Chains A and B, each alone.
Chain A
Amino acid sequence: MLEARLEQANLLKKVVDAIKDLVQDCNFDCNDSGIALQAMDNSHVALVSMMLKSESFSPFRCDRNIALGINLGSLTKVLRCAQNEDILTLKAEDAPDVVNLVFESAETDRISEYDIKLMDIDQEHLGIPETEYAATITMPSAEFQRICRDLSALSESVSIECSKEGVKFNCQGDIGSGSIHLRSHTNVDKPELNVEIDLTEPVSLTFSLKYLVNFCKASGLSNQVKLCLSNEVPLLVEYALSNNSYLRFYLAPKIGD
């Protein structure tokens, strides 16, 4: 059986909120290392990969591998019934028909309990090759969100160019063009504002802004976001969570003109 207790319901609320517009029905794969989710969007352009390590829960118990097939719309409805600060416990039997969610308020004695019916989801699992990326940019997640939002007003695509000069986000649209240039930057007092660029070779890739704007819904999960790029491979956008847990998005590049 599975029993996983989260100190704050907020974490799961934010994760589900960040991915629910990209993917609808997903398997939450539970085993003794934690709860993982991998799902591709319908157009096969973006992939969500979530890992909530067992250390992110206290306690965490999962004796056998269990796949919980959940509709994220249904999960959202139920998670809305939880206060952000509620303690959340996920429970399921070994061959479950439902997943049980218990929300406990630390301040009052209120305990609420919900069951969500599970679905049989036959999902293709993708092998993601270990990649030594040519460029890794770590930057404030709010800054990345702003760049994506600003440029999406002008164009459908953004080119991300990384060189010794820094990183440049460029777009061209019907009304004109825009570009934002960032350099490495260290703020001793506010390290969450740091921009770190780790480059082994110059990179230039083009991506759909619609998807990037969507990924940025995860900005509330982490102050910083990591962008990993290599020429001609999908972009990795990573929001690191506590205890080595993470929410990652992969986005296939655009090619040619």
Chain B
Amino acid sequence: TPLQNDLGEFFTAI
């Protein structure tokens, strides 16, 4: 099964 990425890996907190 493919693993689910976390959105935090793409968008950074501001």
A125 near B2 (CB under 8 angstroms)? Answer: no
A 41-57 to B, binary, CB cutoff 8 A, 1 in contact else 0 = 00111110000000000
Q: How far, in angstroms, from A250 to B11 measured CA to CA in the complex? A: 10
B 1-12 to A, binary, CB cutoff 8 A, 1 in contact else 0 = 111111111111
Q: Which of B2, B3, B8 contacts A44 (CB 8 A)?
A: B8
Size class of the B contact interface (CB-based, 8 Å): 10 to 19
B10 near A127 (CB under 8 angstroms)? Answer: no
Size class of the A contact interface (CB-based, 8 Å): 20 to 34
B11 near A234 (CB under 8 angstroms)? Answer: yes
B2 near A45 (CB under 8 angstroms)? Answer: no
B5 near A47 (CB under 8 angstroms)? Answer: no
B2 near A257 (CB under 8 angstroms)? Answer: yes
CB-contacts of A232-257 with B (<8 A): 233-234, 250, 252-257
Q: How far, in angstroms, from A121 to B13 measured CA to CA in the complex? A: 16
B-binding residues in A (CB < 8 A): 40, 43-47, 124-129, 156-157, 206, 208, 233-234, 250, 252-257
